[in-house]
Amino acid sequence: MKDHSILIGGQAGDGIRQAGGLIARLLAKLGYHVYFWDDYPSLIRGGHNFSVIRAADRRVEAYRDGVDILVCLNEDTVVKHKGRLREGGLLIYDSGVFEAEGCGVDLGGIVKECGGKPVMRNIAALGAVARTLGVEWSVLEDVVKAGAPKAMELNLKIAKTAYDAACEAEFHIGRAEREALPLLQGNEAIALGAARAGLNLYVAYPMTPSSSILHFLARHEEELGLVSYHPENEIAAVITAVGGAYAGARTMVGSSGGGFALMTEGLSLCAQSESPVVFVLSQRPGPSTGVPTYTAQGDLFFALHAGHGEFPRLVVAPGDPDQAFRLTGFAMNTAWKYQIPALVLVDKNLSESTYCFESREDEVTREEGLLFDGKGDYKRYRKTPDGVSPLAFPGRGGVVVKGTSYEHDEYGITTEEPRAIEAMQEKRLAKGPGLAKEVDGMDAVAVFGDEKAEVALLTWGSTKGACMEVGEEMGLRVIQPLVLEPLPVKALKKAFEGVTKTIGVENNATGLLSKLISYHGIAVNEKVLRYDGRPFTVDGLGKRLREVAK
Amino acid sequence: MSDLDLTTYAENTWCKGCGNFGILAAINQALKSLIGEGLPPENVVVASGIGCHAKIADYIDLNTFYSIHGRVPPTLTGIKLANRNLKVVGFAGDGDAYGEGLSHLIMSAKRNVDVTMIIHDNSVYGLTTGQFTPTSPAGFPGRSTPRGSIEEPLNPLEIMLASGATFVARGYTTKLEHLVDLMKRAINHKGFAFIDVLQPCFTFFNTYKYYNDHVYELEDHDASDLEAARAKAREWQRGEADKIPVGLFYQVEEPTFDEKILRDGMVLAGKHEVPDIKRILKSMS
């Protein structure tokens, strides 16, 4: 099996993420499956940033502890990561800045000589890595052209000079079998899934790790035929989305825990006014500010219970960009079908890590909600057996559309009459069975690894990446619910058939999914939890599972 | 004037003598007049927040969105962004607009969103039974300030002028025709239009006599002169002897937020094309 890992590190401002992205692209071009974790503290300059790029000839969605190539733009990176270098591995360092054992390339000197800016050491590092991997120059040339189009000529010159100056190929990485796949971060897949399901307006206030949805949609809004908007705060974001949905636009908002907390009054407004809005909640360690640029899965119960009052909602929890694409599309279409809030619950690891994307675009398309047929008087909140009232929007002649946060009659006029209150509450809750059926009708539970194994890992979100790989290695069954509300209990029970021991694996401190599942009569025997802001590595998880399996 | 009946079957529950009746009468007249002049009634959307004022959504038989406290400006923005052909008129109380939701009001003015905000400014929370608001005079003995409010009031007009509102006016509920005229001009204004309406609360803070004695209509005022508008806005500092000007303080035409953000005049509502993402995916490989 081909399985290579490269770590590149330096200070914030050294362009580590860009270099990591280009290395990932290079490896994907060679036909590898790629996973790329970007590790950075919350600061603009200084500190320590690093990227780990893993490439293998089968799907990988997590990184290993050991690396084959360690690229150090500063000495700090050597000190911090030298221990990860595998036997036979190679250390590449900027010999113009410090001395170390390995392949020294005067990256800074090359950049200076070519007339570049100091940050372009990252491009020089890329050139050196490519040479070390035995990659032909023409392949690297294409990657630089596509991936660093700004100041392209200069970047090419720097890359080529470093390529020529670096040590002869120590690794002949060769090519893997498959054709190059697009590389997407989870947030980009969310954006594209929403766009394919008819997103018209994305409204968000920046908050790591959700911000790149806003950046991506702002950059591509013309091509995608939608509008992105960054208002004064998350409250304005969600309320703008509600106003837009009321008037007939498909809207989505995105944030992390703190910003989503501010959106909860808007979430309840969606429920009462029956305005379909998609919420993306990308988790990072909390409570409060917590650890802004790292990963966690601590907001599961928050997503399930946010908002005051009782109402149906959809919560999907993708674990990779392909799932994120499909499930965000499902969330948008389902929100409009049932006129409910729908949450896409992800984590920093999925949001900001880069993966190979295998879906076809037509796996998601816009599905229409129930529209008013023009017969009879229009009542925005008409009672129907499945609780779904036909939609009409302002601007349509002969129709008055009264949306409201207040308890109301069918027309949308306020009521405080006990029978009317009861009836409207029941009308909204009547959507529950249909929604549950909708979830039953999809593959709401994914199973990986050995599907017949008696020991199962229960996991969710991006943690499924490490579980999938370790599960295969150790011959375990891996069960990942894709929808957390309504919980696909039937499909889960089926997935657990024949399981004698269940181990919950989550990026949180208390085992939230294990707790949730136990409410439905599925026992979780052991928990393997990580809550230091980092995702599970394949090795780390394997080691802990072997202890538990004893 | 259209003869369209804008009343609904909702029972009006405002107190007898409430200034809100004047605002409801004025907006109905203003809208009927605009509908008579050709504005399609289906293109009007009224939004309100929470408080006594907000019931206005139940009392007007047009498209309405009864939103939540403080959040009328982003509600309006969302509606306008979804469909820029709509005439969007928001109502909010002084606690709602100047307390809970001041940031939204300021930012909507800053962006020059093409909507109208009409504030029922009675300087007291009515529906929660009589607490001080951001425009209550210092010393106001509300239920949360039994020894008198220790804060000075805000001057909403100064805030709106400083924030970039392109139409700034003040009305008074008893001057019905004057208010109708202001509302029509505000709704016709291209850009963020703001009217602070002096609206006495008959039950908790009856200011009729004070306003009747002090309010006068602006005359010989150049509404295109920002400095003159500022001076006029400062004229009333809620002092016993102050005169209270009402009318149009300031109006200027500037490009609007919605026309800038909605490329080529696009209407998002009803835009159903599913985008082709193949090129984007290709660029990522």
pLDDT tens, position by position, B70-117: 999 999 999 999 999 999 999 999 999 999 999 999 999 999 999 999
Q: Which residue type does A50 have?
A: F
In the DSSP assignment, the letter for residue B97 is I
Return the minimum-mean-pLDDT range out of A46-50, A119-123, A330-334, A485-489: A46-50
CA distances A308 to A336, A377, B255, Å, are 21, 32, 39
Q: How confident is the model at residue A179 (pLDDT cuts 50, 70, 90)?
A: confident
Burial label for A177, CB within 10 Å (0-12, 13-18, 19+), is exposed
Tell me, what's the pLDDT at A472? Answer: 96
**Percent of residues, chain B, with pLDDT higher than 90:** 96
Q: Which residues of B touch A235 (CB under 8 A)?
A: 71, 74, 104
pLDDT tens per residue, range B151-169: 999 999 999 999 999 999 9
Between residues 32 and 91 of chain B, which touch chain A (CB distance below 8 Å)?
Answer: 40, 42-45, 47, 50, 55, 57-58, 61-68, 71, 73-79, 81-83, 85-86
Residues A166, A132 contacting (CB under 8 angstroms): yes
pLDDT tens per residue, range A193-205: 999 999 999 999 9
Residues B107, B164 contacting (CB under 8 angstroms): no
* DSSP per-residue string spanning A414-476: B---HHHHHHHHHHHHTHHHHHHHHHHTS--EEEEE-TT-SEEEE--GGGHHHHHHHHHHHT-
Find the mean pLDDT for residues A78-97: 95
Q: Which residues of B touch A243 (CB under 8 A)?
A: 47, 65, 67, 74-79, 81-82
Note whether A395 contacts B67, CB cutoff 8 Å: no
Note whether B81 contacts A399, CB cutoff 8 Å: no
Note whether B50 contacts A146, CB cutoff 8 Å: no
Q: Which residues of A touch B104 (CB under 8 A)?
A: 232, 235-236, 239
Between residues 246 and 275 of chain B, which touch chain A (CB distance below 8 Å)?
Answer: 261-263, 266, 268-275
Mutate: best of A253, A264, A405, partner B, most B CBs <10 A: A405
Find the mean pLDDT for residues A487-505: 97
Residue A493 has pLDDT above 70, yes or no: yes
C-alpha angle A179/A183/A185, rounded to 5°? 155
Q: Provide the shortest C-alpha distance from residue A88 to chain B (in Å).
A: 30
Q: Which residues of A touch B282 (CB under 8 A)?
A: 182
Highest mean pLDDT range out of A41-50, A166-175, B199-208?
Answer: B199-208
Q: Are strands A67-72 and A354-356 parallel, antiparallel or unpaired?
A: unpaired
Q: Provide the shortest C-alpha distance from residue B83 to chain A (in Å).
A: 7
Residue A46 has pLDDT above 90, yes or no: no
**Percent of residues, chain B, with pLDDT higher than 70:** 100
Note whether B284 contacts A192, CB cutoff 8 Å: no
Mutate: best of A32, A239, A253, A417, partner B, most B CBs <10 A: A239
d(CA A356, CA B96): 49
Note whether A403 contacts B64, CB cutoff 8 Å: yes
Q: Which residues of B touch A252 (CB under 8 A)?
A: none
How many domains would you assign to chain B?
1
In the DSSP assignment, the letter for residue B261 is H
Find the mean pLDDT for residues A351-363: 97
Query: Which of A134-165 are b and which e, b meaning 16 or more Cβ less than 10 Å from the residue's Cβ?
Result: ebeeeebeebbebbbeeeeebbbbbbbbbbeb
CA A309 to chain centre: 29
CA B244 to chain centre: 19
Interface pTM, i.e. ipTM = 0.98
Return the number of other C-beta atoms located less than 10 Å from residue A384's C-beta: 13
Q: Count Cα atoms within 13 angstroms, Cβ side, for A502.
A: 23
Closest chain B residue by Cα to residue A398 = B42
Assigned domain for B228 exists: yes
Residues A507, A349 contacting (CB under 8 angstroms): yes
Query: What's the CATH number for A184-363?
Result: 3.40.50.970
Closest chain A residue by Cα to residue B270 = A248
Note whether B272 contacts A366, CB cutoff 8 Å: yes
Same fold for the domain at A3-165 and the one at A184-363?
Answer: no
Q: How confident is the model at residue B237 (pLDDT cuts 50, 70, 90)?
A: confident
Closest chain B residue by Cα to residue A354 = B284
- CATH classification for the domain delimited by A445-549, as one of 3.40.50.920, 2.40.40.20, 3.10.290.10, 3.60.20.10: 3.40.50.920
Q: Which residues of A touch B261 (CB under 8 A)?
A: 227, 229
Assigned domain for B2 exists: no
d(CA A231, CA A215): 14
Find the mean pLDDT for residues A379-399: 98
Tell me, what's the pLDDT at A180? Answer: 86
Q: What is the CA radius of gyration of chain A?
A: 25
Tell me, what's the pLDDT at A502? Answer: 97
* Number of cross-chain residue pairs from A and B with Cβ atoms under 8 Å apart: 203
- Contacts of A494-500 with C-beta under 8 Å, sequence gap 24+, read A494/A445, A495/A445, A495/A447, A496/A456, A496/A522, A498/A452, A498/A454, A499/A453, A499/A454, A499/A455, A499/A456, A500/A454, A500/A455
Find the mean pLDDT for residues A48-77: 96
Mean pLDDT score of chain A:
96
Q: Provide the shortest C-alpha distance from residue B108 to chain A (in Å).
A: 9
CATH number at residue B222: 3.40.50.970
Q: Are strands A33-39 and B193-198 parallel, antiparallel or unpaired?
A: unpaired
d(CA B229, CA A440): 63
Helix (H, G, I), strand (E, B) or coil at A251: strand
Query: Which of B185-199 are b and which e, b meaning 16 or more Cβ less than 10 Å from the residue's Cβ?
Result: bbbebebbbbbbbbb
B285 touching A (Cβ < 8 Å): yes
ω into residue A486 within 30 of 0, thus cis? Answer: yes
Tell me, what's the pLDDT at A516? Answer: 98
Q: Which residue type does A385 have?
A: P
Q: Which of A249, A549, A208 is nearest to A347 (CA)?
A: A208
Q: Count Cα atoms within 13 angstroms, Cβ side, for B35.
A: 19
Domain that holds residue B191: 20-283
Q: Which residue type does A120 have?
A: M
Assigned domain for B233 exists: yes
- The domain spans of chain A are 3-165, 184-363, 374-442, 445-549
d(CA B10, CA B5): 14
Residue A550 has pLDDT above 70, yes or no: no
Tell me, what's the pLDDT at A175? Answer: 84
Residues A38, A353 contacting (CB under 8 angstroms): yes
Residue A249 has pLDDT above 70, yes or no: yes
List the beta bridge partners of residue B26: none
d(CA B173, CA B153): 21
Mean pLDDT score of chain B:
96
Q: Provide the shortest C-alpha distance from residue B58 to chain A (in Å).
A: 5
What is the CATH architecture assignment of A3-165? 3-Layer(aba) Sandwich (3.40)
CA A145 to chain centre: 27
Query: Which of A277-289 are b and which e, b meaning 16 or more Cβ less than 10 Å from the residue's Cβ?
Result: bbbbbbbbbbeee
d(CA B178, CA B171): 7
d(CA A415, CA A408): 5
Phi, psi of A33, deg, nearest 5: -80, 135
Residue A169 has pLDDT above 80, yes or no: no
Mutate: best of B43, B87, B280, B282, partner A, most A CBs <10 A: B280
